[in-house]
Structure 1
Amino acid sequence: MPSVLFVLTSVDKTLTGAQTGWYLPEAAHAYYTISQQATVDFAAPKGANPPVDEGSVKDYANDEESVRFLNDPVVKEKLAKTKKISEVNVTEYDALYYVGGHGPVIDLPVDPDNINLIGQYWDAGKIVSAVCHGPAALVNAVDSTGKSIFAGRTATGFSDEEEVMVNKVKDIPFLLEERVKQLGANYSKAPEPWRPKVVVDGKLITGQNPASARPIAEAILKALAAKE
């Protein structure tokens, strides 16, 4: 059975001091899709019990899978045993999946262990995937030649338009769409904000927003099946 590592933020405050963390449905929807056909573990820079974005808990209080995820004893144990990124080995997993939230824009792009992890998985030909703000974790990752993993590839992620709509531009160090374009990617997004959008470009798989969590999970499973 293939294995997927969900990578989460360890940050619980934005640049303005607002509460943040990893975004609940982007973990929950992907988890219940992927875990049917693959094993799932969690990792974060600081390890155990990474903080959830409390706003996402409120916003998805009526979402069945999100509520289930928060109360699932298996998930609770996995979150309590979240690995430090520094402890993860390149041979352990077949794919990386970066969960969004505003937290990942703050700690993961500049975390040296995370940058190293992505480079190792990328050079090993493994799947590197991310949803919503998750692609922010990849912006400083390079391949063995020192080139950005976004250079010359098509990708998506939380759009500048969506960032303005949630009024969070001041809370994060950079805008994801703008940065991905600067790195040489062909940025692609859904025709309207908040619609699902997933882009598969070889081993790089990206999703635009919370609505893209289930579709990106399906794309990850499809890519894993193609490798078997």
Structure 2
Amino acid sequence: MKKIMIVNTSTGYFGESDKPTGLWLGELVHFYDYFDIDGYQIDLFNIKGGNTPIDPVSLNTFMLDCITKKYYKDEKFMELLKNSKSINYANPKEYDVIYFTGGHGVMFDFPDNQYIQAAINEIYNHGGIVAAVCHGIAALLNVKNETGRFFIDNKLITGFSNTEEVLANRKNNVPFMLENRLKEHGANYSKSKIPFRPYVKTSNRLVTGQNPQSPKQVAQAVSNLLK
């Protein structure tokens, strides 16, 4: 039995504004659906515990594909999101994989969370896999190893691009531009030539996906590493 911990945001608004954000639901469920089979245990966490806010844009007609719709209508699954455990109470030593979902909420509560940073180091150092998609890659930004070096330094990384942030009309709402910050912290960043196309990079046991179109491909890359 392989154990996977998935970490979602607890932030439902852009900073102090009344503009809603939260988890981008498709980035969770496409990954979750891939591993929702025998041989895997998946546990959902968020930052504070309790309800996981969902970005309303991720539920609009153009974004709600058949898999996302299936999980959104699944009352049992949605109850898991409404009653998530806080990452404060997770035991990363038990897990083979940690996966960070996106949605703009993570930009406010992932980068400086000490439990996230400890979990990444623990799972990676005991031979596990660290994976993230889209803005969820913000979880990796400020993680440092025992020598004080950034975890992402010199690693092959992708993540939501500056171009995509502009096209999503969120450039003026975010606390930083993810692509810029990844480069500042030493990541070997790359992206798809065409925005909003699936794009994944694997760097040893680190797997990152660029955008909401990439979670299934991240799951496939993680699966290949587990094998």
Letter in 1 for 2:5: L
Residue 215 (structure 1) aligns with: 217
Q: 2:202 matched to which residue of 1?
A: 200
1:11 to 2:14 alignment: no
Counterpart AA for 1:5:
M
Shift of 1:18: 1.1
- 2:29 pairs with 1:28: yes
8 Å CA contact 1:34, 1:218 repeated in 2: no
SS where residue 5 of structure 2 aligns? strand
Q: Which has the higher helix share?
A: 1
Matched to 1:202, the amino acid is: N
Secondary structure of 2:95's counterpart equals coil
Which of 87, 96, 99 does residue 98 from structure 2 map onto?
96
Query: What residue number does 1:116 align with?
Result: 118
* Secondary structure of 2:214's aligned partner: helix
Task: Tell me whether 1:66 sits opposite 2:73 in the alignment.
Answer: no
Shift of 1:123: 2.2
**Deviation (angstroms), 1:223:** 1.2
Measure the CA separation in 2 of the matches of 1:57 and 1:145: 42
Structure-2 separation of matches of 1:3 and 1:113: 18
Q: Where does structure 1 lack aligned partners over 5 or more consecutive residues?
A: none
Deviates more, 1:33-42 or 1:158-167: 33-42
C-alpha contact 1:9 1:44 (8 A) present in aligned 2: yes
Within 2, Cα distance between the matches of 1:76 and 1:211?
22
The runs of 4+ residues in structure 1 deviating greater than 6 Å are none
Aligned match of 1:136: 138
3-state SS in 2 of match to 1:210: coil
CA contact (8 A) 1:130 1:207 kept: yes
Query: Secondary structure of 1:110's partner?
Result: coil
* Identity between Structure 1 and Structure 2 (%): 37
Provide the aligned length of Structure 1 versus Structure 2: 225
1:170 alignment partner, SS class: coil
Q: CA 1:59/1:107 → structure 2, altered by over 3 Å: closer, same or farther?
A: farther
Question: Once the two structures are superposed, what CA deviation does each residue of 1:14-34 show, in whole Å capped at 9, x if it has no partner?
Answer: 134310001011111111112
* Structure 1 counterpart of 2:41, one-letter code: T
Q: CA RMSD in A?
A: 1.5
Instruction: Answer yes or no: is the 8 Å Cα contact 1:20–1:52 preserved in 2.
Output: yes
1:150 and 1:30 mapped to 2: Cα distance? 22
Instruction: Judge which range, 191-200 or 64-73, deviates more.
Output: 64-73
Contact residue 24 and residue 52 of structure 1 kept, 8 A: yes
